[in-house]
Amino acid sequence: MAAVGATDVGQRNHNEDAFLIDTRLGLVLVADGVGGHQAGEVASAITGEVIAREVAAGASLEAAIRSANQEVMAAVDQGRGKAGMASTVVVVRCTGPDYQIAWVGDSRAYLWDGHLKLLTQDHSYVQALLAQGQITLAEARDHPHKNVIVQALGLQDDDQLQVDANRGYLGAGQLLLLCSDGLSDVVDSATIADILSGDEPLQDCCEALVSAAVETGGKDNISVVLVAGLAQDEAGAGAQPEVFWSYDPASGEYSGLPEVESPAVGVRRVAPKGGAAQSVAVTKVMAALEIIDQRRVASRELQQGGRRLVLWWVLAAVVAAGLVYSLGIQGIQGTG
């Protein structure tokens, strides 16, 4: 396995990201600490340490991630870090040209094979809204809660932790890109594809991606790991990963993006070409139950609004009936 990494503090005061490359284990990961003053950097460091230790002991990626989740929570009681700290993570384990991916949160993995292909799906508030058709993709790009994630290590019990997975085969000329949202939130697909398509050494490509995020004005920490395929087989020789969307740099078009119906106008839209959402300064964690509660509140407010409207109509009808009755009485008295 040939792998390199780079990180930058961005516009933050300190770096809460962590990346790990262990060629002996065929293991690479990017962890993005959450919590700021609540010691997110401690959570991301623990995440990397525990996953490497557990994989070396023979654990699966999912089991290793779940162990990291438990140890991040335990660290608070042990005085390491602070209450509220957490971390996202995306992990790749290579066994020869075959690879496995597992992730929690919104750190991402992409495949570059001439197209840029997203291999992970964010555990985020906006993604949940998209999946339920509550907002369009265009609305998602500027959503005020785009920085809210719903899964992270250290804040959820094991039975509530969602660990997703993917797998594939890394053929000749292909690259895996792992990154924190400090890259994916601010650097568009066209720029990423342009950097990865060059003939520069792997480390130079990695640093160019980080620099692109810094130069774009990204406020968050940026971490990137690149893994190069060393197999001599061409692409398609092994198992193909699930691809959530694919970007073609030649046409500037995306494929595989879901259409989302806008309930307001009843039309369907797809994501626009190119571009990336603006960076966010702070990642926040929202529990799935909080999302449900917010939806219930919104639904209840809508129902209450409807009831208030009905009451206004009833009141108006009563007043109108009273006026009609009063005028009728006056008319009778006048004719008498």
In this predicted structure, the answer to whether residue 282 has a pLDDT above a threshold of 80 is no
Which long-range contacts does 204-213 make (Cβ < 8 Å, 24+ apart)? Answer: 206/4, 206/5, 206/6, 207/6, 209/6, 209/177, 209/179, 209/183, 210/6, 210/7, 210/8, 210/183, 211/8, 212/183, 212/187, 213/8, 213/10, 213/182, 213/183, 213/186, 213/187
Asked if 213 contacts 8 with a C-beta cutoff of 8 angstroms, the reply is yes
Burial 150-160, CB ≥16 within 10 A → b, else e: bbbbbbbeeee
Answer positive or negative: Cα dihedral of 24, 29, 33, 34: negative
Please say if the pLDDT value at position 62 is more than 70: yes
CB 114 within 8 A of CB 128: no
Residues 296 and 289 sit within 8 Å (Cβ to Cβ): no
* Residue 81 confidence (pLDDT): 86
> What pLDDT is recorded for position 238?
76
pLDDT at 137: 59
What is the per-residue pLDDT for 295? 43
Q: Which two tokens stand for residue 57?
A: 């002991």
pLDDT of the residue at 286: 61
Digit-coded pLDDT (tens) for 227-275? 998 876 655 567 899 999 999 999 999 888 776 554 444 434 444 344 4
What pLDDT sits at residue 108?
A: 96
d(CA 1, CA 79): 37
Please state the rounded mean pLDDT for residues 71-82: 92
Helices (H), the chain: 40-56, 61-77, 125-131, 137-141, 181-184, 189-196, 202-215, 288-335
What is residue 136's predicted lDDT score, i.e. its pLDDT? 64
Flag whether pLDDT at 70 surpasses 60: yes
Give the pLDDT score at 261.
56
In angstroms, the CA 327 to CA 322 distance is 8
**φ, ψ at 98 (rounded to 5°):** -80, 140
pLDDT of residue 257: 76
2-286 architecture in CATH?
4-Layer Sandwich (3.60)
Task: Quote the pLDDT of residue 259.
Answer: 65
Given this model, what pLDDT does residue 89 score?
A: 98
Is the pLDDT score of 161 beyond 90?
A: yes
Give the rounded distance of the alpha carbon of 330 from its chain centre. Answer: 70
Task: Tell me the mean pLDDT in the region 281-293.
Answer: 53
pTM of the predicted model as reported, rounded to 2 decimal places: 0.79
Look at residue 160 in the predicted model and tell me its pLDDT. Answer: 95
Neighbours of 272 (CB within 10 A): 11
Q: For residue 80, is pLDDT > 60?
A: yes
pLDDT of 112 above 90: yes
Least confident of 26-35, 94-103, 110-119, 228-237: 228-237
- Mean of pLDDT over the chain: 80
Q: CA nearest 169: which of 226, 114, 231?
A: 231
Q: Which amino acid is at 280?
A: V
pLDDT at 171 over 50: yes
Q: Out of 1-10, 151-160, 311-320, which region has the weakest mean confidence (pLDDT)?
A: 311-320
3-state secondary structure of 96: coil
Would the CA dihedral through 279, 282, 287, 291 be positive or negative? negative
